[in-house]
């Protein structure tokens, strides 16, 4: 699932990053990978977020305070990766993050849609045995018992 999200993000974001932020094709690709890596590292780390927060963030519902906090963590990780992995200046990284973060959130929401089972699949793609993936498995298991 994560590969599908990354592929869709690349299709949508590559031309936008080049046009709106003046990035070369290589910089734009590196930026997409760095942003995806920020999402992946934040979600697979566990970060103290529960399944309700995660499903809320990746649904059409209004974000809770916890979901907004998670979104800020994802954005920070993305911005850091954009400077270290993609080689963008802090100013460029901020603009690119502001472009990519809503795109990534929307794409994940389209794939997950607040569904805990779909979210579990995505989390499994991001890192088998991670804290959040274990939490997802546990929550899904309790749901079906």
Q: What is the pLDDT of residue 58?
A: 87
Alpha helix stretches (DSSP H) within the chain:
2-21, 25-44, 51-57, 65-84, 90-112, 116-126, 131-144
As given in the structure block, the two tokens for residue 66 are 């916890």
**Phi, psi torsion values for 71, nearest 5 degrees:** -60, -40
Tens place of pLDDT for every residue, the chain, 145 residues? 778 888 899 999 999 999 999 999 999 999 999 999 998 888 877 667 788 888 888 888 899 999 999 999 999 999 999 999 999 999 999 999 999 999 999 998 888 876 777 777 777 766 533 444 444 444 333 333 3
In this prediction the pTM is: 0.80
């Amino acid at each position: 699932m994560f590969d599908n999200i990354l592929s869709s993000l690349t299709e949508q974001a590559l031309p936008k990053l080049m046009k709106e932020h003046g990035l070369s094709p290589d910089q734009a690709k590196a930026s997409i990978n760095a942003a995806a890596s920020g999402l992946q590292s934040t979600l697979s780390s566990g970060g103290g977020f529960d399944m309700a927060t995660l499903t809320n963030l990746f649904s059409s519902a209004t974000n809770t305070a916890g979901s907004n906090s998670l979104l800020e963590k994802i954005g920070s990780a993305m911005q850091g990766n954009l400077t270290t992995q993609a080689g963008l200046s802090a100013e460029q990284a901020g603009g690119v993050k502001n472009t990519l973060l809503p795109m990534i959130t929307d794409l994940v929401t389209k794939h997950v849609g607040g569904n805990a089972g779909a979210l579990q699949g995505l989390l499994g793609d991001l890192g088998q045995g991670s804290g959040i993936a274990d939490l997802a498995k546990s929550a899904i298991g309790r749901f079906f018992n």
